[in-house]
Amino acid sequence: MYFSPRLWSLTAGVRGRIALAVALGLATAAAGIARLGLLGVLLARVFQGDGPADLVLPIAAVLAAIGARGFLQYLKEGVAYETAARVQSTLRERLHDRVLELGPAYFDSRRTGDVTISLVEGVEQLETFFGQYLPQFFTAALAPVGIFVFMAFLDLPTATIYLVVALATLAAPAVFHRMNATASMRRREAYGSFAADFLDSIQGLPTLKAFGQSGARGDTLERRADAVFRSTMGVLASNAATHGMTIAGIAVGAAVALAYGASRVERGELSIEVLLIILMLGVEVFRPLRELSQLFHQGLLGVSASGGVFDLLAARPRVAEAPDARDVGPGAGRPGVAFEGVTFSYPGGRRPALRDVSFRVAPGERVAVVGRSGSGKSTLVWLLQRLYDPQQGRVLVGDVDVRAVRFHALRAQMAVVLQDSYLFHGTIADNLRLGKPDATVEELEAAARAANAHEFIARLPRGYDTVIGERGQRLSGGERQRVAIARALLRDAPILVLDEALSSVDAENEALIQQALDRLMEGRTTLVIAHRLSSVVGCDRILVLQDGDLVESGTPAELRSGGGAYAELMAEQLEDAAAPGAAGLAADPVAPTAAAFDDLAPAGPRDDAHAAPTEAMLRAEQMGWVDTFRRLLAVVGSLWPKLLLSFTSGVGHFLGLIGVSVLGALMVARVRNDEPFDALMVALLILAPVTAVLTWLESWISHDLAFRLLAQMRIALYRQLDRLAPGYLQRRRSGDLVGMATQDVETVEYFFAHTVANAFVAIVVPAGVLITLLVYGWQLALVLLPFLALAAWSPVLTRSAVERLGTTARVHLGELNAHVVDSLQGLREIAAFQADPQRRADFTRLGEAYVPVRLAFNRQITLQRIWLELLIGGGGLTVLVVGAALVSAGDLSATALPLLTLLAMGAFLPISELAQVGRRLGDTIGATRRLTAIHTEPVPVLDGPGVADGHVPAGAALAGVRFTYQGSSRPALDDVSFEVRPGSTVALVGPSGAGKSTVAHQLLRFWDPEAGSVTVAEHDAREFRLDELRGRIALVAQDTYLFNASIRDNLLVAKPTAGEAELSDALERAGLADFVGTLPDGVDTVVGERGAQLSGGQRQRVAIGRAILKDAPVLVLDEATSHLDSLNERIVRNALSELENGRTAVVIAHRLSTVRDTDLIVVLDAGRVVEAGTHQELLNRGGLYARLAATQIAATPR
């Protein structure tokens, strides 16, 4: 068998407990052998003619051995599982700490789903290795020596046979070690790839649905799931060979020992009493080996999963803290910042992101950095925080090289607001306290007020204690950014870094937040990275980056008058300030009327652990075993012939095992009666290896069926989530959903591979045994029946506790998965705000909540198994005792008693194997309930009948639309009506959370209105098939989602059939061609998870390239140019204007420059249309639009 030195290295500190578990395991095995040996003695006494009164003492000894074995097994498994839990808890925390230590630079090139599998499921799969396989390995290795000593007192030749066979059987599987290791590695890679792709697909489902590609993505995932199936069967091939070899060794060893013993009895070299002991020991003498072989599959999967675990433990961070690094705290005064000759290239980059950049920011000085998208601005932030180190030059804070400063001390001096600010799943208060963990409620409110966030927070269902979902997805883009700014305000650090801090904020909020930032910047060293002129005009100096070079530096006035790169960048915004009709507008912004939480985004549960369950969840929680099994059997579908074959092979497997005992008993009877037994001996020696073949066949057939069905279940889960998205995804955490597609589905294997056929056999075999006993004596069948009934009924008695604990354990694992995904995708914020202690504490708390539930669950299953062992021992003993009485009365031949006793114990074999997987079966029930809750969730938006192709102009309209997100108290849209005439462009403007993006989602039918109608091309949107409707609309969303694939593949999401010419045209028109030309693999360069390898502007241009490539009759542009610099915005806007020509367009924007030339402007506030008209008409009215415009113009210097 296989022993992993690497996994053994993780047991430091608990090896004494492992030794105790092994000692208890050996004692348990000894008690089991003693029980069967004593049964042999008891049979010999019956053979000698002893009556019932003479058998009291041996019967009492057997009962004592049965009780001792149960008690010792309980102690052994309790020690083993608690040991495993300790190792796993320590390992989880080590891995979590390792992730935080490796930091964002390392994981920028890794996939979250794959890492999550290693950190959660990889550790979870080691429970079997540490809790069962490892103690059993040592027990199986040491037991042969003890058995040899025991048997040597009875018969040395037989003892030698047992020893040789046991050692050979233990060592033989090593032949397959290399095959096992290779297959396991392939399986881990396939499994990790599936998990990563599944997470990518789930998080990008709204994008896939918008482009009608969610179905095609499901086909891709289906191929990934099939790769998992095939690689798993590769593992099983080597595992089944190992298991078959073990069973063959055990069966042949028992047969040889018995045959050799019988021949020696015939020659007078061995007593019949010893032969009976050999008979009763049978394969039980090899039980430690048999139990080890049953664990080999799960043990090997654990070893396979550990590959990812050890990869993480062995990884080295790209940036390491120097051993002599020192603390340089803010107490030393207001630190300045300097870059001296800095050159830096990202790993795999073709050209430097920064080239020989030098500048200095004096203490208290405000310096802005501007430049086109991808010019290297954000790279300055990463180097300043020391997420990366430059290849040349140095970065200084307070005149100290950042490489000489401890991470904690360096980052404590900075408050950062990033372009793509990450908010963690949790409450707003939790997210704010990332900036200051000990902040009081008053301090939270003060920071929120300064960031103009308090008003909308106060209107949330639970105020600052409202859970905002993963990535803050229950807030609008502007609201997320304001929370991020408030978080930085709380930080109150001497260095302030603002990386596009106002990119997602409307004009009205921008002015107020800019005032707050101006106050915050007072007396602080500030680095401002921005595209908007309003953000940089108040700075002392401005630096201009171009393709990684510092090309200009000076005051705003100097650079404006210089006519260089800066003047060119800002010319567009200066033109906006001088736009016709802008003069004379009063810059008198009113307090924004931010919509309430339930007005703006899908509300979800307060948190996943204590969410108000949906009706589907409640129904799933009430599922019992029968409902669970019925639902799982329904999955079989067209594979039912394989299921029937699994039943048949299962019966053959157990008949082979029982047949070895039956032939042995018949042979002993012939020896006792001095009758020839050669034919039986030959049959026994033939059946022994045949039993191994039958065992292998049953294992292969049942596992092939199981893993095929798992692949189907994974894709069925994705298809259902596709139907439920995007609304349902707002209520669930993506990490939990990945856990369901991997861990939860994986546990269902135990039902199909180890339960369903065994359950059938557990009916057939005991029934056959009872009939046989009935033939020999009705009393024998009668006394065995209660034991079989209790064995069958015992799982029902503990069902409630097992189901509850199994389901709870799966929920806790889902929370661990979700937490890991959240941490991995928010690593930049964790590093910037030094949130390692909070994230570690949260992860530890989740682990500590899981472990007691898991241990309680394992205790329940252990008690079930011990109860079954007691019933097996008691049933066999009872049949023997009653049989002895029948022999004494002359109603039964003594030579038939060994056969009947072995048959009675054999009746429990299939039930015993069910008990072996009882722990996993409880997991299966919990997992099935969770999966069922999703599959029975009502689908909110269904396909329409379809619309006949025609040449109807592609207009759109909303008429009296009212829509409220699930769980909300106020509508997100309330009686909204407007028309977008064919070929016209309509702009939607309004404060953050006014309902603008909800209109876009209504057009795409992500949700249906509860009142009113949405029409597209003169048809109610509900008449279209969903892909047909979305095929007519091209969307550019504010939060661009790019998949972990090449730029080519991300563009082809819009049009999979596009050729090279179309692709090149889209790249050129989206302003991407020059940038793509600098990449190492051009258009085939992989952009990383969520496009992490690209800047915000570059990601936005890829999204715009999609819209250009799709060439749909209706365009929906939701803040399409919000992340672009002025030059690229002008290029892209010209391309979009050309694309809009002759098309229907809906433009959602904050910038005046984006909406002023549209045909109609619709102004939304709190979900209602408050005014509509052209740009000039609305300015003349002096309403909300005029105030928004005045605020933006006032912030732009002329």
Q: Is residue 607 over pLDDT 70?
A: no
Q: Is residue 221 over pLDDT 90?
A: yes
Task: Write the pLDDT tens digit of every residue in 1173-1198.
Answer: 998 899 889 888 888 887 776 655 55
Q: What letters, b where the CB count within 10 A reaches 16 and e where it falls short, cover 427-454? A: bbbbbbbbbbeebeeebbbbbbbbbbbb
Beta-bridge partners for 338: 360, 396
Bridge-based pairing of strands 1168-1173 and 1160-1165 is: antiparallel
Express as a percent the part of the chain with pLDDT over 70: 89
Q: CB neighbours (10 Å) of residue 483?
A: 23
Comparing CA positions, the residue from 2, 517, 545 lying closest to residue 242 is 2
Question: How far apart (Å, rounded) are the C-alpha atoms in residues 293 and 300?
Answer: 11
| Side-chain half-sphere CA neighbours of 783 within 13 A | 21
Specify the 3-state DSSP secondary structure of 616: helix
Task: Write the pLDDT tens digit of every residue in 799-826.
Answer: 677 778 878 888 888 888 888 888 888 8
Question: How far apart (Å, rounded) are the C-alpha atoms in residues 484 and 499?
Answer: 11
**In the predicted model, what is the mean pLDDT of residues 1071-1091?**
82
Q: Which band of pLDDT confidence, cut at 50, 70 and 90, is reported for residue 78?
A: very high
Q: Which band of pLDDT confidence, cut at 50, 70 and 90, is reported for residue 589?
A: very low
The one-character DSSP state at 595 is P
Q: Is residue 394 over pLDDT 70?
A: yes
The residue to which tokens 């809009």 are assigned: 1140
Judge residue 674's burial from the number of C-beta atoms within 10 Å of its C-beta, 0-12 exposed, 13-18 middle, 19 or more buried.
exposed
Q: Which of 48-62, 153-167, 565-579 has the lowest mean pLDDT?
A: 565-579
Q: Which band of pLDDT confidence, cut at 50, 70 and 90, is reported for residue 509?
A: low
Q: What is the pLDDT of residue 600?
A: 36
Q: What is the pLDDT of residue 614?
A: 57
Comparing CA positions, the residue from 609, 423, 592, 418 lying closest to residue 508 is 592
Beta-bridge partners for 340: 394
Q: Is residue 488 over pLDDT 90?
A: no
**In the predicted model, what is the mean pLDDT of residues 1061-1069?**
88
| Side-chain half-sphere CA neighbours of 1033 within 13 A | 33
Instruction: Report CA 777 to chain centroid distance, whole Å.
Output: 57
Question: How far apart (Å, rounded) are the C-alpha atoms in residues 173 and 245?
Answer: 7
Question: How far apart (Å, rounded) are the C-alpha atoms in residues 853 and 806?
Answer: 8
Question: How far apart (Å, rounded) are the C-alpha atoms in residues 497 and 520?
Answer: 11
Beta-bridge partners for 1014: 958
Sign of CA dihedral 907, 910, 916, 917: negative
Q: Which of 706-710, 827-831, 894-898, 993-997 has the lowest mean pLDDT?
A: 993-997
Q: Is residue 162 over pLDDT 80?
A: yes
- Set out the domains of the chain in order of their start, with CATH numbers: 1-144+778-891 (1.20.1560), 337-576 (3.40.50.300), 956-1193 (3.40.50.300)
| Side-chain half-sphere CA neighbours of 1091 within 13 A | 22
Comparing CA positions, the residue from 350, 332, 345 lying closest to residue 382 is 345
Q: Is residue 786 over pLDDT 80?
A: yes
Q: Is residue 405 over pLDDT 60?
A: yes
**In the predicted model, what is the mean pLDDT of residues 408-426?**
86
Q: End-to-end CA distance of the chain, in Å?
A: 80
- Report the C-alpha dihedral over residues 402, 403, 405, 406, rounded to 10 degrees: 120
Q: Is residue 1168 over pLDDT 90?
A: yes
* Both tokens assigned to 54: 């003479």
Among the ranges 499-513, 579-593, 609-623, which has the highest mean pLDDT value? 499-513
**In the predicted model, what is the mean pLDDT of residues 475-503?**
83
Specify the 3-state DSSP secondary structure of 1067: helix
Question: How far apart (Å, rounded) are the C-alpha atoms in residues 258 and 113?
Answer: 54
* Both tokens assigned to 180: 């096992």
Question: How far apart (Å, rounded) are the C-alpha atoms in residues 366 and 380?
Answer: 15
Q: What is the pLDDT of residue 536?
A: 81
Beta-bridge partners for 366: 526
Task: Write the pLDDT tens digit of every residue in 322-373.
Answer: 888 887 654 455 788 999 999 998 877 667 889 999 999 999 899 999 888 7
Q: What is the pLDDT of residue 630?
A: 82
936 touches 616 (CB < 8 A): yes
Q: Which band of pLDDT confidence, cut at 50, 70 and 90, is reported for residue 21?
A: very high
Better pLDDT: 868 or 1125? 868
**648, amino acid identity:** T
Question: How far apart (Å, rounded) are the C-alpha atoms in residues 49 and 893?
Answer: 11
Sheet holding 337-344, edge to edge: 354-361, 337-344, 392-397, 400-401
Q: What is the pLDDT of residue 246?
A: 80
The one-character DSSP state at 1163 is E
Instruction: Quote the mean pLDDT of the chain.
Output: 83
Question: How far apart (Å, rounded) are the C-alpha atoms in residues 566 and 289?
Answer: 77
Specify the 3-state DSSP secondary structure of 1116: strand
Question: How far apart (Å, rounded) are the C-alpha atoms in residues 1193 and 587?
Answer: 8
Task: Write the pLDDT tens digit of every residue in 632-644.
Answer: 888 888 888 888 8
Global pTM? 0.78
Q: Is residue 187 over pLDDT 80?
A: yes
Q: What is the pLDDT of residue 599?
A: 36
Q: What is the pLDDT of residue 591?
A: 42
953 touches 656 (CB < 8 A): no
Bridge-based pairing of strands 956-963 and 973-980 is: antiparallel
Q: What is the pLDDT of residue 595?
A: 37
Express as a percent the part of the chain with pLDDT over 90: 18
Q: Which band of pLDDT confidence, cut at 50, 70 and 90, is reported for residue 583?
A: very low
The angle at the Cα of 907, spanning 903 to 910, to the nearest 5 degrees, equals 140
Q: Which of 172-181, 184-193, 262-271, 1001-1010 has the lowest mean pLDDT?
A: 172-181
Question: How far apart (Å, rounded) are the C-alpha atoms in residues 1141 and 1144?
Answer: 8
The one-character DSSP state at 427 is B
Sign of CA dihedral 826, 829, 834, 838: negative
Instruction: State residue 503 phi and psi, 5-degree precision.
Output: -65, -25
What DSSP letter does each residue of 1130-1149 carry, written as one string? Answer: HHHHHHHHHHHTTSEEEEE-
**Greatest Cα pair distance in the chain:** 123
Question: How far apart (Å, rounded) are the C-alpha atoms in residues 1140 and 985?
Answer: 8
What are the Cα distances from residue 305, in Å, to 82, 116, 155?
21, 11, 45
Which residues are CB-contacts of 205 (< 8 A; sequence separation ≥ 6)? Answer: 214, 721, 722, 725, 726, 729
Q: What is the pLDDT of residue 602?
A: 37
* Both tokens assigned to 1111: 């060439």
The one-character DSSP state at 1083 is G
Better pLDDT: 519 or 1083? 1083
**In the predicted model, what is the mean pLDDT of residues 74-102?**
91
Q: Which band of pLDDT confidence, cut at 50, 70 and 90, is reported for residue 598?
A: very low
Beta-bridge partners for 988: 1148, 1162
